[in-house]
Amino acid sequence: MNRFMTLKSAVVMTSTLAAGGAGLAVSPGRENIDLRRLNVDPAQISVSGLSSGAFVAMQAHVAYSKTFMGAGLVAGGPYGCAEGSLTQAVGRCMSQGDLPDTEKFIALTQAMADQGDIDRLEFLRDDRVWIFHGKSDRRVWAASSQRAAEMYQTLSGSQNVSVNIDLIDAGHAMPTQNFGADCAQSDSPYLGACEYDAAGLLLNHIYGPLAPAAPAIPENLLTFDQSLLSYSQYLDETGYIYVPDACREAQAACRVHIALHGCKQNRSTLQDTFARHAGYNAWAESNRIIVVYPQTSNDFMNRDGCWDWWGYADTGHGTLDYLTQKGPQMQFIKRIVDRLTGTTTPTSGSVVSACYREDNLSHSLAGRAHYFWWQYYAVGSMDYLGFSASHRTSLRCDKTDYCRSINTCI
């Protein structure tokens, strides 16, 4: 049966395609592109990532399984591995700790689906997934990648999951044909010259046999404005996007692949190194694949620019929202897709234009404030509101999901 003649196809094909034939809108003097001007096929959207990006790629795939039809994980682990704990993230997920069996992670995933916090698990059936772990990787435990593989084998079907664990002597990095550090090392830029094309292998597995890679065109790596899609302080204002020549005029729909960098690989640290050299663009150029490279930012809570796979960006302390459609970074990734497809993203905690003077806890419960590590911040502006739940503050909310702290409501 054709991969797209499935339950998921019936859902995604109801999405609205962006208008075609209009070409790209690039701001004069800048590389910024308006994502809404691209023509994409909503049935052929996939996601992959390295390290923290791999954990979050699986989170996005599972949370929005109606949207994504495949995933690639390089040095990642199972959905829910950290269960909201940094201690568990660096312990059982990254080192040889007491990693629960696969059934526990599947039970957690099922519970999330039953609560309506993620898409139903049936949408994962028949999805194509590619998983890799290097033999010399000591940053993420091979057992974590194995658990992710076992989860996908159960949820998507063993025949659809390509497991490549400890097959080559690669370190904690994205294996490439010839760019990066020594293959067996785990050093910056966390791209390994391994004579192994991980990006090409995962794209071929997800989409089926592709045309041979063609030389990537440097000028086709553009930027887009991430600030339009997120209110999180942990995300950069700018992301990268590779648009092949064949997709520039938007006459026929193109595939979309979201590629998530790892820690210490974002724009603040390495500029466009991951986006330019991870290996995706050559395959994208010859196969009508638009590759989006979202970018985190470096922050006192996230100095290495990692993606959130343990809950640092959660809107409430001690929740597991980061795993679900309530998570700020999950919503951000979905908004990128929706911007490309011309779909409107439902938002949680939406507020109307008004002024509110209430205690911080009430602001948080109403969706006007975030709670990060015992501190309150206004949604959108991230204005600091203090640490006391009972402290009364005034917030002027001028648009959905954007509030500012003011002296008083008049």
Q: Distance (Å, rounded) from C-alpha 125 to C-alpha 15? A: 20
Q: Distance (Å, rounded) from C-alpha 179 to C-alpha 174? A: 10
Q: Distance (Å, rounded) from C-alpha 346 to C-alpha 341? A: 14
Token pair belonging to 258: 């979201």
Amino acid at 186: S
Q: Distance (Å, rounded) from C-alpha 156 to C-alpha 150? A: 10
Q: Distance (Å, rounded) from C-alpha 34 to C-alpha 39? A: 11
Report, as residue numbers or ranges, the catalytic residues. Answer: 51, 137, 172
Residue 16: strand, helix, or coil: coil
- The long-range contacts involving 34-37, CB below 8 angstroms and separated by at least 24 positions, are 34/224, 35/224, 35/241, 35/336, 35/339, 35/340, 36/339, 36/340, 36/342, 37/250
